[in-house]
Chain A
Amino acid sequence: MFNRNRIKDPLGDRIFMGINYLFLVLVLIVVAYPLLYIVSSSFSSSRAVTSGQIWLLPVDFNIKAYISIFKSTQLMMGFYNTIIYTVVGTAINVILTVMLAYPLSRRSFYGRGAIIIFMMITMFFDGGLIPTYLLMKDLHLLDTRWAMWLPGALAVFQVIVARTFFQSSIPDELREAAEVDGCRDIRYLVSVVLPLSKPILAVMTLMYAVGHWNAYFDALIYLRSENLFPLQYVLRNLLILNAADPAMLANTSQQLRDQGFEQVLKYALIVVASIPILIMYPFVQRHFVKGVMVGSLKG
């Protein structure tokens, strides 16, 4: 960088860049430190956590907390339920979104404007919590898995993003060619449009999936049976309401059953609950950025 024979930046610019780097390093530390601290605490001994010895790296490295977590049937049930909610829920989301977005991207589709208005209205008006709850009750969906899939089955924002993509990235000539060959609309959508729309489908799937993985509100409102609770709801009981599962503490020796071990457990829970998304995240980060950008084209 310095041995290149180029004109030096003026002093003002160099000072500015210095401050800029300083600012960004500070931001980096502020964001990264708590994350590191959580991971380190989860691998530390309870004594180290309670006596406040951890500043950056684990003290008395061990994985006892993680072993305890996998003994909790409550938590494993939560994982199992969340996986079901995420897989089925995301499938419903993506299918409904494409079904609505594709016809709306076709200029010759009569009634397009009316449906768009019909759809946009739901972005600005909604019935609110209680009327929605009463509807779910009337439909006998309370305390069923459907309560986790149906209330948020379609995000209008995602429909707009997908429609924009179909409209701007799939050339009309393709459809004309397909039509000449006798290809009807649904077949054209499935065998031509969707394979060409992989980037936007990836983004949509990921955004919906993250939403399902992190959802707890619908469970709080609609679910009563313990065997239906998703991970986040179980986590809320364990982490925030401090109702530790006895199974997690059962096999630990008496001296570990103090507040300290519960603290370590909490850190480990945070790591375990967030890891599926955080592992996936670096691979898809590029897509997420793309998704936000497509959405901003026509907000």
Chain B
Amino acid sequence: MQMSQNSGAIPTRMKPQKSMNQSERKIEHPFLKSLKRHWQLYLLVLPPVLYLFIFKYMPMAGVQIAFKNYSVVQGIWGSPWVGLKHFETFFNSPNFWLLLKNTIGISLYTLIAGFPIPILLALALNELRTGYFKKTVQMVTYAPHFISTVVMVSIIILMLSPHVGVVDRLFTFLGMTMTNFMGIPEYFKSIYVWSGVWQGMGYSSIIYIAALAGMDPSLYEAARMDGASRLKKIWHIDIPSLIPVTVILLILNLGSIMGVGFEKIYLMQNPLNTSASEVISTYVYKVGLIGANFSFSSAVGLFNSIINLILLILVNAVSRKVSKNSLW
């Protein structure tokens, strides 16, 4: 702003005729002024803004079909309103509690198991001096993050398949009986969560490692002078320094508790384990796209997003009160 005022002042003094035009309007609107000087910036921003409008905001307007009886002929805007009918159908359906239980269960399990492990890994790595071993651990643990969901799920299936899978052979070797892990609903959550931990712990630890690396070294020196043990240093310096970033990530994670990923669960599903593996997102896909029940599944999806948003706002508010860390 200061820049543009300064450089705008010079031509005014040099070319008095042109400034007449401006003084008529006294102060030009800052937008027009900015547009004149930086029209190229507006040109740049136009396509992405249009993109967001079409591909993000138009579907938001399309959410109205959750309150309508969508028909292909009448389209989104022309279909008749039915109020909360689809929501009532969903709440009263026998699937409702099962879907809710599975969705929240899988998310909470993921959070409880998956959240602390990257922190532990970061703390452990932080104790090592940079060297061959540390680099190897980091490189190897980051790698699975880049494996695609399809490949990851097929690895899980191959490893756990009865007779030939290595896990099953290991169990048999240890004297346990052979099992078809993927076919037993009780195992589904654990398989989903722990394979996720395997895949993500290294990559998730990066952010904590970065936070630890940014610590003031004089704190460690002072601690060493005072004769603090390594454990004490972790407890009194490392862990407190991780709290802000941990809280932010925790808010984001809690805020998406209902948003359990579609891709991996859908691929891991089989007819034997659906009682434990059907979650809201897979249900929306099956009823909506495969069953072509657009309005009903939009209502289910909307219910999911609203709960998510409420959770995010709640958790954020609590965190702002308790720890003074918040997203906004």
Q: What is A's interface to B at a CB cutoff of 8 Å?
A: 10, 12-13, 16-17, 20, 23-24, 27-28, 30-32, 34-35, 37-38, 49-50, 52, 54-55, 96-97, 99-100, 102-104, 106-111, 115, 118-119, 122, 124-135, 138, 150-151, 153-154, 159, 176, 179, 184-186, 189, 210, 213-214, 216-217, 221, 232-233, 235-236, 239-240, 263, 266-267, 269-270, 273-274, 277-278, 281-282, 285, 288-289, 292-293, 296, 299
Q: How far is the CB of B164 from chain A (nearest CB, A)?
A: 6
Name 20 A/B residue pairs within 8 A (Cβ), A-sorted.
A24-B124, A24-B125, A24-B128, A27-B201, A28-B141, A96-B47, A99-B44, A102-B44, A106-B41, A108-B3, A124-B309, A126-B59, A128-B59, A128-B302, A130-B301, A216-B150, A235-B150, A240-B154, A266-B158, A274-B147
Give A37 to B170 CA distance when docked, in angstroms.
13
**Cβ of B63 and Cβ of A128 under 8 Å apart?**
yes
Beta-carbon contact of B148 and A213 below 8 Å: yes
In the complex, which of the residues B41, B42, B262, B312 contacts A124, with contact meaning CB atoms closer than 8 Å?
A: B312
List the A residue with the shortest CB-CB distance to B30.
A110
Closest to B167 in A: A34
A267 → chain B closest CB, angstroms: 7
A127 touching B58 by the CB < 8 A rule? yes
- The distance in angstroms between the C-alpha atoms of A30 and B140, with both chains bound, is 10
B3 and A176 within 8 A (CB): yes
- Nearest chain-B residue to A238 (Cβ)? B154
Residues in A whose Cβ lies below 8 Å from that of B35: 110
Task: Check B31–A111 contact: CB distance below 8 A.
Answer: yes
Query: Can you name the residue of chain B whose Cβ is closest to the Cβ of A37?
Result: B166
A50 to B44, CA, bound (A): 58
Residues of A within 8 A of B221 (CB): none
Contact B158 A153 (CB under 8 A): no
Query: Does B121 touch A at the CB level, under 8 Å?
Result: yes
- When chains A and B are docked, how far (Å) is the Cα of A214 from the Cα of B148? 5
Surface stretch bound by A, among B17-25, B88-96, B98-106, B281-289: B281-289
Is B169 touching A130 in the complex (CB atoms < 8 A)?
no
Q: Is the CB of A10 within 8 A of B40?
A: no
Q: Which residue of A lies closest to B327 (CB)?
A: A299
Contacting pair A278 B143 (CB below 8 A): yes
Give the residues from 15 to 55 in chain B that come closer than 8 angstroms, CB to CB, to chain A.
30-31, 33-35, 37-38, 40-45, 47-49, 51-52, 54-55
**CB 8 Å contact bits of B121-144 with A (1 = contact, 0 = none):** 100110110000100111111111
Distance in angstroms between the alpha carbons of A189 and B35 in the assembled complex: 17
Cβ–Cβ contact B137 & A28, under 8 A:
yes
B288 touches A129 (CB 8 A): yes
CB distance from A16 to the nearest CB of B (A): 5
| CB < 8 Å neighbour of A20 from B124, B139, B294, B305 | B124
Residue from B52, B121, B137, B289 within 8 A of A130 (CB atoms): B289
Cα–Cα, bound, A240→B59 (Å): 31
CB-defined contacts of B57 to chain A, threshold 8 Å: 122
